[in-house]
Amino acid sequence: MPAATKDPYLKRDHVAGHSDVDRATKERLISQVMADSRFGDYLYGCYECGICVAACPSARFYDFSPRRIAQAAARRDVDLMFQQMQEDIWECSQCFSCLRCPRGNNPGGVITIMREVAVKEGLHSAKDALAGYSRIIYKIMSTGTQVSPDMLQPDAFPDWGPEVKDVSENLDLWRRMLPPETMHTTTTGWQVADRTLVELYVIWLETGALDMIAQVDQGIHMILEEIMEEKLEEEGIEI
Amino acid sequence: MTDSAVAVILGKKEKFERTPDRRQEDFHDRLFELEADGELVVQRVTGDFVEVPTKYGIIKKIQKSNLWHHKSCGQCGHIPGYSTSIFWIMRKLGYEYVDPEDQTSCTAWNYYASATSNQAAQAAVAVRNFAAAFETGNFPLIHCGTSYGHYKEVRAELLHDAALRQQVTKVLGRLGKRLVLPEEIVHYSEWLYAVRDEIRARAVRDVSGIAVTVHPACHYYKLVEGDAIFDPDVYHGQRTAAVSGLVMALGADLRNYSTFFDCCGFGFRHILVQRDFTRSFSTLRKIEVMKEEADPDVVLTHDTGCVTALDKSQFAAQAHERNVGVPVMSEAQFAALAMGAHPFKVAQLHWHSTNYRPLLEKMGIDWRAAWAEFQEEAGRLKSGEQEFLTWADVDA
Ligand code: SF4
Ligand code: SF4
């Protein structure tokens, strides 16, 4: 008979998979999750009642469950949490419907923290989930607005109907037909002042947010670093 | 159940009193304490304001004029009639505002999609914007539901985490700014709710025959839920009154449906790189249920992501002969239309995907004539006669 682990919940070792990753690595990652100052506010144990699952949009369409997330985290089950970091967390919609938890938990918030650690550590799940996402990262970090009018291209959004084509064909003209003066832009949502961009760059650099990008996309990281350093040099700011 | 038993239950609901142990803390206490300790600056509500009720009874002050518009990148970028309508209503009601260029996105769309940021960066971005608003003397008004929800999370973290406060204060110091938090974090839909009677008074179109379903934005009322508007006169205080309160004030036919609480399916990363999920959820759990149970003429909501997901998801579902096909817009655009706004120059409905024309007809708006007018103006811009469409052109 296969031996149960020392886990008080009697889970068998193979259940969580990822046996190729050693226990110490898993523990290091999960302790980062638990060390986040928000973690204590996001989890107070778990009744395993499933109310969060009933509210969760992602649970309806994926093999995904905020209860499993809260349950594993409440049990401090390092193996399961690691498995979830590799297989589950990117399915979450970050809608926070699970905040209706009667225990006062925030499973979506626990997932935010797990994702952050997955990115910081360059886990495969983060790299896979963010493939095709680099353009957004570039936009948000370099321009000050996240999505821009020129992203509305029919080949990028073929499922959004013919209006996308109308917009992209008339983009410059239709942007000039917006009465608010800040919105005549096509590459950003609105006109962002130069000085403001510099301030944003200082934030990304000072808080280590830019370093996180290196783990998931080195190319974009290099481009962003160059843009920011050049701009900061122009302004005479040293980091 | 007897009629009187029902009356007792409803009577209780009207009061919607939380027992004290379920009531959330009033963040103001900590906010003013830290202000007194010199740790941060609180930007006060000034001038005329309206007091509105929130979920657990804490009163929230909504400043009416001199507002600093914290815009939404998704609204400005892809649904520009959304932001334009907010500005237009404010101008029509005669309130002053600033549309700043020293505002960045809250970056929370990216954060909830990719997690390529961290707590300190997110907080610093938020308070840099707050400091910028404070410097102008105008009070911040947040256009996006996600910015609003995220900023409330950031506020709670800053109020309770001294190490984070210190780190963020240091970053702000490098920018020559102080740590500023506003006395209230206000979403534009709360401002619309606060001035809903003024909007009704300026309405020129009868919307009583328009059937409306409302989708409340998750990040508006699920994130830091105690700070969202809940009004005993709207759904007995059991659901947020944002959007629905305005719809009721306008006299439209507000209809219920059973998946009101459900998310729109936006998903942050899903809308960009895994849209099959968004399309399925938006149409199967929201639009089809609304169509089946309430048959609305229009779906109104109050957030960037919700308008996007609910509007754009219907095209592909139509190809699969699903029961979809209802226009989606913000309540700001709907209110502006009711107040006589131009459907293309102000509400900019040509940026939307679902067919809004039957709705306009029902509202008594000649969309063919309006489009011809829009095209005529476009001709003037194309010929170089003028460079931009201005507020003066819109109000002409
Ligand atoms: S997280 Fe909350 S809602 Fe979900 S199963 Fe646990 S106690 Fe229930
Ligand atoms: S935040 Fe994530 S886990 Fe929570 S309800 Fe939304 S999709 Fe589900």
Q: Please say whether the beta carbons of A146 and A189 come within 8 A.
A: yes
The confidence score (pLDDT) of residue B111 equals 92
The confidence score (pLDDT) of residue B2 equals 57
Does residue A50 share a domain with residue A106? yes
Does residue A202 share a domain with residue A144? yes
Number of domains in chain B: 2
Closest to A183 in 3D by CA, of B130, B101, B148, B61: B101
Q: How many CB atoms lie within 10 A of CB B391?
A: 16
Does residue A36 share a domain with residue A89? yes
The confidence score (pLDDT) of residue A12 equals 79
Residue A210 lies in a domain: yes
Q: How many CB atoms lie within 10 A of CB A169?
A: 11
pLDDT tops 90 at residue A239: no
pLDDT tops 80 at residue B13: no
Does residue A123 share a domain with residue A26? yes
Average pLDDT along chain A = 91
pLDDT digits (tens, 9 = 90+) for B301-328: 999 999 999 999 999 999 889 999 999 9
Does residue B214 share a domain with residue B166? no
Question: Any alpha helices (H) in A36-123, and if so which ranges?
Answer: 39-42, 51-55, 57-61, 66-74, 78-87, 107-120
Higher pLDDT among residues A147 and B259, named by residue:
B259
Residue B2 lies in a domain: no
* CATH number of the domain where residue A75 is located: 1.10.1060
Which of A11-15, A112-116, A178-182, B102-106 is least confident? A11-15
Residues 6+ apart with CB under 8 A from A230: none
Higher pLDDT among residues A4 and A25, named by residue:
A25
Residue A239 lies in a domain: no
Q: Which domain does A12 fall in, by range?
A: 4-129
Does residue B349 share a domain with residue B251? yes
CA distance A16 to chain B (A): 24
The residue from A129, A144, A166 where one domain ends is A129
pLDDT digits (tens, 9 = 90+) for A165-214: 999 999 999 999 999 999 999 999 999 999 999 999 999 999 999 999 98
Residue B59 lies in a domain: yes
Mutate to test the pocket of ligand 1, among A64, A103, A106 (most ligand atoms within 8 A of CB): A103
Residue B129 lies in a domain: yes
Whole-angstrom distance, CA of residue B388 vs CA of residue B380 = 9
pLDDT tops 50 at residue B360: yes
Residue B193 lies in a domain: no
Does residue B287 share a domain with residue B249? yes
The confidence score (pLDDT) of residue B355 equals 97
Does residue B333 share a domain with residue B236? yes
pLDDT tops 60 at residue B15: no
- Cβ separation of B76 and A37 shorter than 8 Å? no
Number of domains in chain A: 2
Helices B119-136 and B162-174: crossing angle in degrees, nearest 10, is 60
The confidence score (pLDDT) of residue A201 equals 94
Q: Is the pTM of this model over 0.90?
A: yes
- Cβ separation of B389 and A179 shorter than 8 Å? yes
pLDDT digits (tens, 9 = 90+) for B233-281: 999 999 999 999 999 999 999 999 999 999 999 999 999 889 999 999 9
The confidence score (pLDDT) of residue B19 equals 56
Does residue B140 share a domain with residue B223? no
Ranges of beta strands (E only) in chain B are 41-43, 49-53, 59-63, 67-70, 97-98, 139-142, 180-182, 211-215, 253-254, 298-301, 328-330
Does residue A21 share a domain with residue A121? yes
Q: Please say whether the beta carbons of B146 and B154 come within 8 A.
A: no
pLDDT tops 90 at residue B182: yes
The residue from A109, A129, A149 where one domain ends is A129
Residue A30 lies in a domain: yes
* CATH number of the domain where residue B333 is located: 3.40.50.11810
Higher pLDDT among residues B133 and A4, named by residue:
B133
Does residue A180 share a domain with residue A119? no
Q: Express as a percent the part of chain A with pLDDT over 70.
A: 97
Ligand 2 centre from A93 Cα, in Å?
A: 6
Which of A36-50, B15-29, B100-114, B372-386 is least confident? B15-29
Across the A/B interface, how many CB contacts are shorter than 8 Å? 255
Ligand 1 centre from A100 Cα, in Å?
A: 9
Does residue B367 share a domain with residue B223? yes
pLDDT tops 70 at residue B11: no
Residue B378 lies in a domain: no
Structure tokens, A38: 């928000």
The confidence score (pLDDT) of residue B21 equals 58
Mean of the pLDDT values across residues A209-233?
91
Does residue A192 share a domain with residue A86? no
Please give the distance of CA A213 from its chain centroid, rounded to a whole number. Answer: 11
The confidence score (pLDDT) of residue A6 equals 64
Confidence of residue A1 (pLDDT cuts 50, 70, 90): very low
* CATH number of the domain where residue B53 is located: 1.20.1050.140
Ligand found nearest the CA of A96: 2
Residues 6+ apart with CB under 8 A from B12: none
Q: Which of A38, A157, A180 sits opposite B99 (nearest CB)?
A: A180
Does residue B329 share a domain with residue B235? yes
Residue B89 lies in a domain: yes
The confidence score (pLDDT) of residue B36 equals 98
CA distance A183 to chain B (A): 7
Residue A37 lies in a domain: yes
Does residue A32 share a domain with residue A148? no
The confidence score (pLDDT) of residue A13 equals 74
Does residue A228 share a domain with residue A143? yes
pLDDT digits (tens, 9 = 90+) for B184-219: 999 999 999 999 999 999 999 999 999 999 999 999
Q: How many CB atoms lie within 10 A of CB A3?
A: 7
The residue from A72, A101, A129 where one domain ends is A129
Which of A125-134, B38-47, B60-69, B98-107 is least confident? A125-134
Q: Express as a percent the part of chain A with pLDDT over 90.
A: 75
CA distance A12 to chain B (A): 32
Does residue A108 share a domain with residue A13? yes
The confidence score (pLDDT) of residue A2 equals 46
Mean of the pLDDT values across residues B88-115?
95
For an interface test with B, the pick among A56, A111, A145, A170 (most B C-beta atoms closer than 10 Å) comes out as: A145
Q: Measure Cα distances from B128 to B30, B180, B293 in Å.
A: 20, 8, 45
pLDDT tops 50 at residue A3: no
The confidence score (pLDDT) of residue B131 equals 98
Q: Express as a percent the part of chain B with pLDDT over 90.
A: 91
Q: Which domain does B50 fall in, by range?
A: 27-188
Helices B145-160 and B162-174: crossing angle in degrees, nearest 10, is 110
Does residue B125 share a domain with residue B235? no
The residue from B129, B154, B188 where one domain ends is B188
Residue A57 lies in a domain: yes
The confidence score (pLDDT) of residue A203 equals 96
Q: Side-chain half-sphere of B111: how many Cα atoms within 13 Å?
A: 26
Does residue B172 share a domain with residue B56? yes
Query: Which chain A residues are Cβ-neighbours of B262 within 8 angstroms?
Result: 55, 57, 97
Residue B313 lies in a domain: yes
Does residue B290 share a domain with residue B170? no
pLDDT tops 80 at residue B8: no
The confidence score (pLDDT) of residue A4 equals 44
Does residue A11 share a domain with residue A94? yes
Confidence of residue B57 (pLDDT cuts 50, 70, 90): confident
Higher pLDDT among residues A76 and B350, named by residue:
B350
Ligand 2 centre from B39 Cα, in Å?
A: 34
Does residue A120 share a domain with residue A107? yes
The confidence score (pLDDT) of residue B396 equals 62
Interface predicted TM-score (ipTM): 0.94
CA distance A7 to chain B (A): 31
Mean of the pLDDT values across residues B22-27?
77
Residue A160 lies in a domain: yes
Mean of the pLDDT values across residues B134-159?
97
Whole-angstrom distance, CA of residue B363 vs CA of residue A203 = 48
Query: Which chain A residues are Cβ-neighbours of B267 within 8 angstroms?
Result: 57-58, 93-95
Mean of the pLDDT values across residues B289-301?
98
By C-alpha distance, the chain B residue nearest A108 is: B112
Does residue B225 share a domain with residue B137? no
Does residue B312 share a domain with residue B236? yes
The residue from B145, B160, B188 where one domain ends is B188
pLDDT tops 60 at residue B7: yes
Atom of ligand 2 nearest to the CA of A55: 5
